[in-house]
Structure 1
Amino acid sequence: MQISIEPLRLEDARAVVDAEDEQTVRWLSEEKSTIEGTTEFIAQLSRDAELGKPKRVFGIWLDGHCVGTVDFDPDVTDGLEPGDVNIAYGVAPWVRGRDIAARAVELICATIRDRAVGTRAVIRCDARNAASSRVAEKASFEHLREVQIDTEALDDGSPVVMHVYDRNLL
């Protein structure tokens, strides 16, 4: 089983959309993606990179097939500290439970370290998302704390509680 990460390309849009399911929408994207919207998102990421914005999104590749995404964003600050780099990930339902997301997180941590983007990788996951917590733990992150974040709310208006996991990169 060969797992790698590569910067997203326009031609990866269909695979990214195909890898989505209701869990991806619930925990990551908040709405079902379209090929057109995903293509525009990838193009916007390229434009943002040219402007010096630091967020980067990579496709997760398993044996030559794109099966999800992993990204890093040092501009996410809600619940984080200076030098922290937020990581988010999602993989297709047909590859879950095979440690692919954990391996992608390890690879993105190496990228963050090699590019000197920050000093600590952080995964924030909704406290109700046990699968994401398992990925963080499998990728050798430690549970740091729980925080109520200001940028998201539950349907009843109460704040979302996030588990915050960290891994030093130095």
Structure 2
Amino acid sequence: MDVELRPLRHEDAPAHCAGEDDATVRWLTGGHGTLAGTRAHFDRLAANAGAGRGKRGFGVWWDDRLAGYVDCDPDNRDGLRPAEPAPVNLSYCVHPWARGHRVAVAAVGLICSYVKEHAIGEVAAIRVEPANTASVRVARRCGFRHRRRYPASHPDGSPATFDLYLLDL
């Protein structure tokens, strides 16, 4: 399997938006993206990467086809206690056609390597709703350990419960 991470470009926006299905909206985004909004998001990620701070994201490419998205965010404190050091949060999605082929496992491994190589953090976090069993499997397959369950909210503001998984890098 040839999975790699690449910076997202404006011309990737149509494929990225086409890969958003109901599962992506439910578990990650809270709504379908527009081309203009997606391109603006890509610009913010690129600016953050250039500045060496904030959320940085990449396209997940499998055999030269955009198969999903992964990002790392050192500023997310969801589920942490006030005195706890913040791990680097990882978020990801895989387009429907690429699911079930361990693309997410490969992407999480690659973004963990990126976080370590660029000295962004020493611990990675995956925050996931327990009902998102595919994402729970990814966390476990990648060696993350369950830390705690905590109350949270969806992007639309409705209440949710998340599990926090951590991995020392």
Superposition TM-score, scaled by structure 1 size: 0.90
Which sits farther off after the overlay, 58-67 or 77-86? 77-86
Match of 1:114 in 2: 117
Which sits farther off after the overlay, 9-18 or 63-72? 9-18
Matched letter for residue 91 of structure 2: A
Asked whether the 8 Å contact 2:150–2:162 carries over to 1, the reply is: yes
Structure 2: runs of 5 or more not aligned: none
Q: Say which SS state the counterpart of residue 37 (structure 2) adopts.
A: helix
Change (3 A) 1:49 1:3: closer
Asked whether the 8 Å contact 2:72–2:90 carries over to 1, the reply is: yes
Tell me how far 1:142 sits from its aligned partner. Answer: 1.4
Match runs of 1:67-106 below 5 Å: 67-80=67-80, 81-106=84-109
Q: Please give the root-mean-square deviation of Cα atoms over the aligned residues, in Å.
A: 1.9
- Indicate yes or no: 2:129 matched with 1:126: yes
Match of 1:2 in 2: 2
Asked whether the 8 Å contact 1:86–1:123 carries over to 2, the reply is: yes
Q: Equivalents in 2 of 1:155, 1:52: separation in Å?
A: 29
Match runs of 1:8-23 below 5 Å: 8-23=8-23
- Name segments (4+ residues, structure 1) moved above 3 Å: 47-53, 153-157
* Equivalenced residues, count: 166
What's the CA shift string for 1:19-72, capped at 9, x where partnerless?
Answer: 110000111110011222111111222334455532100100000011110000
Asked whether the 8 Å contact 2:75–2:86 carries over to 1, the reply is: no
Q: Say which SS state the counterpart of residue 39 (structure 1) adopts.
A: helix
Q: Say which SS state the counterpart of residue 40 (structure 1) adopts.
A: helix
Q: Equivalents in 2 of 1:141, 1:12: separation in Å?
A: 30
Match of 1:163 in 2: 163
Superposition TM-score, scaled by structure 2 size: 0.90
Asked whether the 8 Å contact 1:154–1:160 carries over to 2, the reply is: no
Structure 1: runs of 5 or more not aligned: none
Q: Say which SS state the counterpart of residue 43 (structure 1) adopts.
A: helix
Q: Equivalents in 1 of 2:45, 2:155: separation in Å?
A: 28
Tell me how far 1:2 sits from its aligned partner. Answer: 0.6
Q: Equivalents in 1 of 2:140, 2:59: separation in Å?
A: 21
Report sequence identity in percent.
42
Q: Say which SS state the counterpart of residue 127 (structure 1) adopts.
A: coil
